[in-house]
Amino acid sequence: ERQFVALVALSRGSLSVEEFYASFLGVDTDLLRELDGYALWMLGGLFERLDRQRGVDGVSSFFIPRLRVYHSPDEKLHGMSFQQFMMIDTYSSWYTVSGRAEYLDQMIAAMYLKEGYSYFPEKDETLVDFDTSIEDLSQIHIDVKMAVFINWNLIRQWLSATFPYLFPKGDGNDAKGGSAAAWLDIFDAFVGDNIPHMDEYKKLPCMDAFRILNRKIKNSK
């Protein structure tokens, strides 16, 4: 978590190279000052090779599992409903296009939930309080928010590798489902004439929905 946020902060210019090494490696800046330029250059080369060796298709989990009392979705989006995914991806797409901070906050609020809260509460669960979540999570540092945003885009690339017809590679957030209108069209086609059971489609685990939709798109070609 610390290392991923440090990488994002460095790319945004929020950290100097020296501060980045200190944060990423978990060492004091005084120790880094004892290293000469050549040693720091060698460290930089190691980071570059690490970046080249790691493929983004394998990122299916969240590097930041918790924001205050809010928890990230599970690995491989296990337990995430189709409704939650569509909300997250819509706000992500809007932020990509507009750069407006409120869409980033809404994306994160749709993603990170308090324990015991759900989009479709059962038994002792509580319905998600979206407005309160936005207010709480909007206070998170921008470097952390951007790390969450980048993490989501990496997960979308994993989805592209897993469901290539639903999430075509090379389209990024402009892929099928990359906007609210696209997701509404896909959802309406998915529901079809089963309008009385629309809520059941919203509750469906998103990975199950993706598997069905990906097969339908494939078979229609």
Q: What is the pLDDT of residues 9-37, one digit of tens each?
A: 988 999 988 888 899 888 888 888 888 88
Q: Are 152 and 173 in contact (CB under 8 A)?
A: no
Per-residue pLDDT, 54: 54
Q: What is the pLDDT of residues 194-218, one digit of tens each?
A: 888 889 999 999 999 999 999 999 9
N- to C-terminal Cα separation, the chain: 41
With H, G, I as helix, E, B as strand and everything else as coil, classify residue 66: strand
The token pair at 135 is 């207010």
pLDDT at 174 over 80: no
* Best CA proximity match to 72, nearest among 82, 84, 83: 84
Q: Are 157 and 59 in contact (CB under 8 A)?
A: yes
DSSP code for 163: S
| H, E, C per residue of 106-137 | HHHHHHCEECCEECCCCCCCEECCHHHHHHHH
Band of residue 178 on the pLDDT scale cut at 50, 70, 90: very low
Tokens 């000052």, residue?
A: 33
pLDDT at 129 over 80: yes
Q: Are 74 and 160 in contact (CB under 8 A)?
A: no
Per-residue pLDDT, 176: 44
Q: Within 13 A of 189's CA, how many CA atoms are on the CB side?
A: 13
Q: What is the pLDDT of residues 75-117, one digit of tens each?
A: 999 999 999 999 999 999 999 999 999 999 999 999 999 999 9
| DSSP-assigned beta bridge partners for residue 117 | 126
Band of residue 177 on the pLDDT scale cut at 50, 70, 90: very low
Q: How far is it, in rounded angstroms, from Cα 135 to Cα 137?
A: 6
Burial of 104 (0-12, 13-18, 19+ CB in 10 A): buried
- Report the pLDDT averaged over residues 158-185: 74
To the nearest whole number, what is the mean pLDDT of the chain? 89
Q: How many CB atoms lie within 10 A of CB 20?
A: 19
With H, G, I as helix, E, B as strand and everything else as coil, classify residue 51: helix
